[in-house]
A and B are shown apart, each in its own frame.
Chain A
Amino acid sequence: MSTKQILEKFEPRRENLLMILHALQDNHPQHYLTEEALGETAKHLKLTKSSVYGVATYYSMFSLKPRGKFVIRVCVSAVCELMKGQEVIGHLENVLGIKSGETTPCGTFTLEIAECLGQCQEAPSMMINEKVFNHLDEQKIRKVITEYRKW
């Protein structure tokens, strides 16, 4: 869908700004908000570009940089840390060959850190796009990533 088509689905009221940004970001194959998209949104809602930019940068789930097809968000909050979550990032970095915050050169994976995903009972946890993975250890991480690579 084009930016215009998405914007048309929302009434031009400021309260829809976050929903619009979510929709635009989900629609982009690289899961991010382009400058063009932000500009169009500002026009649609009759807001200044800076206030749209201000909102987009305030919330951690919005990205202004291109990202991979699969965005991996690893919980680094207290319970996951207590349950050896620190090692999860390390294993993922090894398996993917990138540092947290980066995207693999092929454009498949982006590795990000996140705060509590509300899965603390089975810590450590991560999400890949909308899917939850719990009870992570090195072996499980390798298995999951291998499966996603096939897609």
Chain B
Amino acid sequence: MKKTTVIVGLGSCGIAAGAGKTFSEFQRIKGADKLDFELKKTSCVGMCFREPLVEIIDDSGTYLYGQVDPAKADEIIEKHIKNFSPIPEYIVHSEKFPSADQSFFEGQVKIALRNCGHMDPENIDEYESRNGYAAIRKIADNYLKPDQVIQMVIDSGLRGRGGGGFSTGMKWKFARNYDAPQKYVICNADEGDPGAFMDRSILEGDPHGVLEGMIICGYAIGASEGYIYCRAEYPLAIKRLNIAIEQARQKGYLGKNLFGIEHFNFDIKIKEGAGAFVCGEETALIASIEGRRGMPRRRPPFPAQSGLWNSPTNINNVETFVNIPWIIFTGPQAYAAMGTEKSKGTKVFALTGKIKHGGLVEVPMGISIKDIIYNLGGGIAGGKKFKAVQLGGPSGGCVPEYLSHTQVDYDSVNATGAIMGSGGMVVMDETTCVVDIARFFLDFTQKESCGKCTFCRIGTKRMLEILTRITEGEGHEGDIELLEELAHNIKDGSLCGLGQTAPNPVLTTIKYFRNEYEAHIRDKKCPALSCKKLLTYTVDQEKCTGCMSCTKGCTVDAIEGGKREPHFILQDICIKCGACYTKCKFGAIQLS
């Protein structure tokens, strides 16, 4: 009989949901009751809405349990492990027991996420048992030349997953073609787009996959040093990368004359960021690695020609790198067989916002936004109506419900005015005000502007002021046109992608929801009933029980009425803070 294995998901999302306690509970009872099962750790499988997740593998099959707190852990041990009787109510995924959540996995094709949630990221042997370091071995064993490797990457059709979507193979070719005594490979792990967390999940779940991708790149372009620039907000990712690098060095996978290839030397260092979004831009990132202020510079020269310390440098995103070993090992044709004509393979999307099943999904390029949101994501949370989705974070745009049949591939998404970006999907429902959302994103880029370009520095500030004014009911005629004019000037007058794309959320919301802007400006109304300053709060006399909880919550004493008497709100005192609305347990406070 096969030994039962219990695997607890310990990504930073799982840990925040209490997976550490769950793990300890399994450990404790295993010891106390002298149980003979193997207890292992893994990272996140993407099903963040059901963390902490515990997978049990035994003779009869594989069972994924969701939201396992210590109490549930006890029950699972008692029933499933000791008495071989799985608990269907807690199972979120298993061939044996259909669950309401299983649609989350249907239609997913896992390549970049192939190892996430399926192995212990701190154990190199587990990575190797899943074809890890087999791609670089294939290169060595078959004496594949760097140019052949590059051709394979070109043939796969892989495009950069960091936002730009440039052909990865072509980029490698440029870097290879520059002759220089020293070249560098950089992995961009500065993921900062609000709404994106796939790079974190990959780093926490499959650090060796990223290292192997970088090693292959080093071989292909002729570089002997690699850097991973990781944001300091990801301490667990940094810890696991450090462990992975140490293990790879010990096994001789990093160092000198690697994999029996003479003169192929490659080693990797980690550099931590320090909280500057613009350092995700490649030239700013290079400045930051060099120990300077992370400000972008003009391109050309591109990093492939003159990058880190003026040497030819190839820089790719985490998700781009983790795809490489799979492509080399399985063959470029298998990758190119998925997706659309111009966008090959699969893409990871981060589902957030007003969606039922928030988490990470990986799907072939070309499926529709609607399929992702409804089939995998389970639709909108709380039975509300789907309004729009923000694609591509602060550089991207808002795609309205009626365009949700749009396919996810670089070109179709661009046609809507949004961008694929890093793959963040922030879902909005009918209660979300799009003007407000555009303001949040612009607030972000405005704060993160490095200040080098005047239009980006001052223009975004002026746009933000106008948007704030509009959401507070102080907008006036001509504001929309002014926003559009500023937007175009900022796009034209900025050096790097930050300024060039910062106005996108505003431009797309104006394009698709101009009427909502006009309602704010002309009628001083927020159609989504979200902008607080534009609402009127009243008490529904039928529903009010006179419990006084709103009165106590009101900081300006705008609510009158004694105990067990219906209350009313004095409109000229009310500051529209919404405290009464949150406090009332009977739904008696009405918004209009």
Contacts and interface: CB of A to CB of B under 8 A. Distances in A.
Interface of A: 13-19, 21-22, 45, 54-55, 58-62, 77-83, 87, 114-123, 125, 127, 130-135
Contacts of A79: 194-195, 352-353, 426
A132 B12 CA distance: 7
A131 to B, nearest CB: 8
Contacts of B352: 79, 120-121, 123
Interface hub of B191, B233, B350, B440 (most chain A Cβ within 10 A): B233
B483 interface: no
A-B CB proximity, top 7 nearest: A59-B274, A77-B194, A17-B291, A61-B275, A60-B275, A116-B194, A121-B48
Contact of B276 (A59, A77, A117): A59
7 contacts: A45-B291, A77-B444, A78-B437, A78-B444, A115-B448, A120-B195, A120-B196
Contacts of B291: 13-18, 45, 55
A118 B234 contact: yes
A21 B48 contact: no
Contacts of A13: 291
Main DSSP-derived SS at the B contact region: mixed
B564 interface: no
A136 B448 CA distance: 25
Nearest to B200: A118
B197 interface: yes
A130 B358 CA distance: 23
Nearest to B277: A115
A25 B441 CA distance: 30
A121 B358 contact: yes
A117 B196 contact: no
Contacts of B231: 118
Contact of B275 (A16, A59, A81, A134): A59
A120 B232 contact: no
Contacts of B277: 115
B290 A14 contact: yes
Interface hub of A120, A121, A130 (most chain B Cβ within 10 A): A121
Interface stretch (B13-21, B22-30, B168-176): B13-21
A125 B292 CA distance: 30
Contacts of B424: 120
Nearest to B201: A118
B16 A78 contact: no
Contacts of A14: 290-292
B390 interface: yes
Given A60-B274, A116-B192, 20 more contacts: A22-B232, A55-B293, A59-B276, A60-B275, A61-B274, A61-B275, A78-B394, A78-B426, A82-B426, A114-B275, A115-B194, A115-B448, A118-B199, A118-B231, A119-B13, A119-B197, A120-B358, A120-B424, A120-B426, A121-B351
Contacts of A120: 194-197, 350, 352, 358, 424, 426
B444 A122 contact: no
Nearest to A127: B233
Interface hub of B13, B231, B447 (most chain A Cβ within 10 A): B13
B267 interface: no
Contacts of B293: 54-55, 58
Interface hub of B195, B354, B426 (most chain A Cβ within 10 A): B195
Contact of B16 (A17, A45, A119): A119
B218 interface: no
Contact of B195 (A78, A127, A133): A78
A61 B447 CA distance: 14
A134 B194 contact: no
B265 to A, nearest CB: 19
B222 interface: no
Contact of A122 (B48, B191, B276, B426): B48
B288 interface: yes
Contacts of A16: 291
Contacts of B297: none
A116 B393 CA distance: 11
B49 interface: yes
B271 A19 contact: yes
Contacts of B12: 119, 132
A132 B194 CA distance: 16
Given A77-B444, A78-B394, A118-B196, A22 B274 contact: yes
B397 to A, nearest CB: 13
A82 B275 CA distance: 22
B274 A82 contact: no
B309 to A, nearest CB: 9
Interface hub of A15, A18, A79 (most chain B Cβ within 10 A): A79
